Amino acid sequence: MRKAVSFILVIMLMLTALAGAEAENGKPLSALCDSAFELLFSTSNVTLEGEANFSLDGDWFKTAKAKYIQDGDRSYWDLKLSSPKPDGTVRENGYTIFADGSKIYVMEVFHPGLYKTGTSAPQSTIVRNSVQMELMKQVIRSLAALAETETEPKTVLIDENEAEKSIRIELSGQTPDWFNTPLNVLAEYAAKRYFHMDYDQIGARNIVPMSYYLTVTEGILACTTSVAVKQADVTVKTDPNGQIEHISGNASILLNTGRDGERTLDISFELTVSGRGTSHVGTFDPPTYGVKLVEGGMNIEDVVNTEVDDFTGEKLVEQARSAWEQAGYTLDPSMFSYCYKQNGRYCTELNDARENLFLSCVTNIDGKVLELRNTQNNWQEKNFDYDNPYPDTQLTEEAGRKVMEYLKEADPEDMKRVDRLKLQCWYEGDGELYFEFCEDPLAQDWDGFLVVVKVKPDWQLMYYSCFSNG
């Protein structure tokens, strides 16, 4: 729901910006911007209900129906998805998510009668704000200022109905570059934030036809190089205080793709905002929904971080420092340290903000190092190559031997069962080279080794685990 709400409001705001100079008093955008931003980033108690339908070149491929309730740091999100099957029938999918502070409970349509749990940062607004999100707000506000001074003929008609407290925005014709360029900036940011699609890591020559992907949504995300608004008709209704109550309309978006030419994405949508200050989300109660915890799943009620006593903390810090030094790191004696216990394991964090060094170490109750993670890194944001071997076989073999030597020193007992390591994937770019190794064959009991090392420009262990096979 957050994805759909954000997308719809961004389209609405940008269309209003394009037509801003035509409206009464010349500036209808300011009030709508303030109302939309207040709803998304400052409202801690509200209910949203909506539906959106998506078609590509006239063929329907997705319908989303959702209800979202925010009640402080508790929220309820029910999403129902429908899409066509090849045989002409309709596939029903979706999920229901409860958030209670940092605790997350998930029920999926594909797994009736079951639920899973997890953790996330507590959130008390519809959309999480951030430094980059603030920049996106400025993009919209700057666009509005540009629209107010634009002298070219408008391609957008805007009709304000004071009696009904509504604004209708209608677009037809070619939108100017000064509008579509920031639209693409916002679209790429939304794709990265909500779908983990980083277009800065994609080369144009690597784009394949959309038919290569299992779903239309995946194809659109992976194959689109730029977008432009072709047509839109949006109506926004507000209450007497200027707060958004209802948004409805449709839009046609031109998708320029890497291999399939120009495609048209049609969207129709409706969103209702209600329950400001009166919305309620209770605690998650499995019997109420007729569900039980999935077998083997983590019970979030048992996940509690507890502090450790000073004596244990000193031992854990000493052990963590030794493990990282064994991995080739030189640590400042004054590094900040923090220790806690979670799920029967001890976690030790070593931080040196001056050197931008943030290291995590996980051990079991017996003191065995289970995981090392350099959390301030670049490799987790990269698209690793899983399909092709690294071209320099000599360098690959040397790196493998070096990792084996480290593992035999770090965990000699478990390494007795490992004959060789396999280069699972690699990434090279910006002067850096990363290798990810795993044992070969893969362990099937969740006791496998997984190691990520930076090979260039200098050798450095980035991640080590002996209780995950990847």
171-188 pLDDT per residue, tens: 877 777 888 888 899 889
Task: Specify the higher pLDDT residue, 47 or 151.
Answer: 47
> What pLDDT was estimated at residue 24?
45
**Exposed, middle or buried: residue 71 (CB in 10 Å: 0-12, 13-18, 19+)?**
buried
The yes-or-no verdict on residue 108 having pLDDT over 90 is yes
The yes-or-no verdict on residue 404 having pLDDT over 60 is yes
* Overall average pLDDT of the 332-339 stretch: 87
Q: How far is CA 319 from CA 212, 374, 375, in A?
A: 49, 16, 18
Closest Cα partner for 22 from 154, 170, 141, 144? 154
The yes-or-no verdict on residue 283 having pLDDT over 50 is yes
* pLDDT band (50, 70, 90) for residue 154: low
Structure tokens at 212: 């290569």
The yes-or-no verdict on residue 428 having pLDDT over 60 is yes
377-390 pLDDT per residue, tens: 778 778 888 888 99
Q: Token match 């029967």: residue?
A: 344
Of 21-30, 47-56, 259-268, least confident by mean pLDDT is: 21-30
d(CA 460, CA 106): 38
d(CA 427, CA 448): 22
Whether residue 399 contacts residue 453, with contact meaning beta carbons closer than 8 Å, is answered with yes
Structure tokens at 117: 């749990």
Question: What are the two backbone dihedrals, phi and then psi, of residue 271, each rounded to the nearest 5 degrees?
Answer: -140, 130
**What HEC string does 388-435 produce?**
CCCCCHHHHHHHHHHHHHHHHHHCCCHHHHCCCEEEEEEEEECCEEEE
The yes-or-no verdict on residue 13 having pLDDT over 70 is no
Structure tokens at 95: 């999920």
d(CA 27, CA 32): 10
* pLDDT band (50, 70, 90) for residue 22: very low
The yes-or-no verdict on residue 440 having pLDDT over 80 is no
d(CA 243, CA 234): 16
Quote the DSSP letter at residue 446: S
d(CA 439, CA 421): 4
Task: Specify the higher pLDDT residue, 410 or 265.
Answer: 265
The yes-or-no verdict on residue 470 having pLDDT over 50 is no
The residues, ordered by sequence, that sit 6+ positions from 377 with a Cβ below 8 Å of its Cβ are 462
Most confident stretch, 54-63, 288-297, 305-314, 356-365: 54-63
> What pLDDT was estimated at residue 274?
97
The yes-or-no verdict on residue 143 having pLDDT over 80 is no
What is the model's pTM? 0.64
Quote the DSSP letter at residue 443: P
d(CA 123, CA 14): 27
* pLDDT band (50, 70, 90) for residue 1: very low
Task: Work out whether strand 156-161 and strand 357-363 pair parallel, antiparallel, or are unpaired.
Answer: unpaired
Helix (H, G, I), strand (E, B) or coil at 144: helix
Question: What are the two backbone dihedrals, phi and then psi, of residue 15, each rounded to the nearest 5 degrees?
Answer: -65, -40
Task: Specify the higher pLDDT residue, 151 or 203.
Answer: 203
Half-sphere exposure of 291 (CA within 13 A, CB side): 19
> What pLDDT was estimated at residue 81?
94
Whether residue 20 contacts residue 169, with contact meaning beta carbons closer than 8 Å, is answered with no
**What HEC string does 249-310 produce?**
EEEEEEEEECCCCEEEEEEEEEEEEECCCCCCCCCCCHHHHCCEECCCCCCHHHCCCEECCH
> What pLDDT was estimated at residue 444?
47
Quote the DSSP letter at residue 212: G
Radius of gyration of the chain (CA): 26
* pLDDT band (50, 70, 90) for residue 376: confident
Q: How far is CA 429 from CA 240, 349, 385, in A?
A: 55, 29, 12
d(CA 125, CA 276): 12
Sequence letter at residue 377: N
The residues, ordered by sequence, that sit 6+ positions from 318 with a Cβ below 8 Å of its Cβ are none
The yes-or-no verdict on residue 214 having pLDDT over 90 is no
Of 119-128, 242-251, 269-278, least confident by mean pLDDT is: 119-128
d(CA 464, CA 470): 11
44-89 pLDDT per residue, tens: 999 999 999 999 999 999 999 999 999 988 999 999 999 999 899 9
The yes-or-no verdict on residue 6 having pLDDT over 80 is no
In the beta sheet, which residues pair with residue 451? Answer: 437, 464
Structure tokens at 419: 């004959």
d(CA 461, CA 470): 17
Question: What are the two backbone dihedrals, phi and then psi, of residue 291, each rounded to the nearest 5 degrees?
Answer: -125, 160
The yes-or-no verdict on residue 23 having pLDDT over 70 is no
The yes-or-no verdict on residue 32 having pLDDT over 80 is no
Q: Token match 């969103």: residue?
A: 271
Whether residue 117 contacts residue 105, with contact meaning beta carbons closer than 8 Å, is answered with yes
Of 144-158, 294-308, 316-330, 341-355, least confident by mean pLDDT is: 144-158
The mean of the pLDDT values for the chain is: 84
* Overall average pLDDT of the 428-435 stretch: 90
